[in-house]
Amino acid sequence: MRTSITLLHASLASLAFSACSDNLTPPGAIEPPAVFDCVPDRDGAITAAELPVALDLAVDYAVSTGDTAVDLVGTGGADAHRWDFSQERASDAITSVAAAPLNAQWYASSFPGAAFVVDAGGGLDGIYRKDDTALWLYGLASHDAAPAAGKTLLPYASPVAVLRFPIVDGDAHHEVGQITAGTAQGLPFIGTDTYDVDVTGTGRLELPYVRFSPVLRVRTHVVRTPAAGGTSIGKRQVQFLFECFGEITRAESRPDEANPDFTTAAYLRRYSL
């Protein structure tokens, strides 16, 4: 099985801008790959070591686009809490996501201190570094140096912690990414991206042919605000994370969604065997 950390908070910013055991199911079918020295201990906390980064190692996801009904609250209480994303959809597309080294990208010199990039959607990449304290987002850039829509280069004045380690139920933090000299689709851009992140809930996540337990539910709300003129735009994301595997499922809201536990996802992505 192929797996790697999946780092997609940057996709939020880009969108704002524009029967088995409770362990793993079926038993023995899914294990962290040999490239990682990481075995889930299922203690309810995800440390930096339990969110490994593997460059150029792809993970397959089933992707639903368009409005999709989701239950982000789940059912049951305490140890019996669960989220059911097990419905198969013939219309889902399979996509592969992998982290890539920063030094191979045209924009590498604009993000000193960062280490790797992940496709953020819409032709943009998110630029990251991970250490023992956090997963740091350095900003966004267009995947190509000269796209038809115009170059985007949006480095933050200081990186923002989109995840803080260890990740445990009940955590919450607020982050601000200042864009002081950016370019968006070929035009100058100055403004801020604000991130509100909370870890709210743990339990079992059910996907087609597999279950993960315990997962942690991470909610992120990002708002992009231009420094002068223009309108702020917000987007919400809910991720389900599992030790040593990273992101198992992610749902993104429609723009300016008020409900943190929204019931209609504009984009839904689930780990696929």
Amino acid 81: pLDDT: 96
On whether residue 3 sits in a domain, the answer given is no
pLDDT at 148 over 90: yes
Instruction: Please tell me the predicted confidence (pLDDT) of residue 7.
Output: 44
pTM greater than 0.85 (yes/no): yes
Q: Work out the pLDDT band at 120, boundaries 50, 70, 90.
A: confident
| Distance from the first to the final alpha carbon of the chain | 8
Domain count within the chain: 1
Let me know if residue 2 belongs to a domain.
no
Q: What is the pLDDT of residues 243-262, one digit of tens each?
A: 999 999 999 999 999 999 99
- Determine, yes or no, domain membership for 99: yes
For 143, the token pair is 């995947």
Query: What is the per-residue pLDDT across 160-181, written as a single tens digit (0 to 9) for each?
Result: 999 999 999 999 999 999 999 9
Distance, CA of 193 to CA of 176 (rounded, Å): 6
51 domain-assigned: yes
User: Is residue 68 situated within a structural domain?
Assistant: yes
Domain that holds residue 203: 9-271
**pLDDT confidence of 26, banded at 50, 70, 90?**
very low
For the residues 17-21, what does the mean pLDDT come to? 32
Q: Is residue 4 part of a domain?
A: no
| pLDDT tens digits along 192-210 | 999 999 999 999 999 999 9
How do 187-207 and 82-84 pair as beta strands? parallel
In angstroms, the CA 111 to CA 80 distance is: 44
Length of the chain: 273
Residue 194 lies in a domain: yes
Question: How far, in Å, are 174, 198, 201, 206 from residue 170 at the CA level?
Answer: 14, 7, 8, 22
Is residue 256 one of the residues assigned to a domain?
yes
pLDDT tens for 77-88 read 877 999 999 999
Average pLDDT, the chain: 88
Tens digit of each residue's pLDDT (9 = 90 or more) over 95-115: 998 999 999 999 999 999 999
User: In b/e form, how buried is each residue of 15-48, taking b as 16+ CB within 10 angstroms?
Assistant: bbbeeeeeebbeeeebebeeebebebeeeebbeb
- The C-alpha angle with vertex 100 and arms to 89 and 102, in degrees rounded to 5, equals 145
pLDDT tens digits, 216-250:
999 999 999 999 888 999 999 999 999 999 999 99
Band (23; pLDDT cuts 50, 70, 90): very low
State the pLDDT at residue 36.
58
Does 18 have pLDDT greater than 80? Answer: no
pLDDT band at 54 (very low <50, low <70, confident <90, very high): confident
Burial bucket for residue 194 (CB in 10 Å: 0-12, 13-18, 19+):
middle
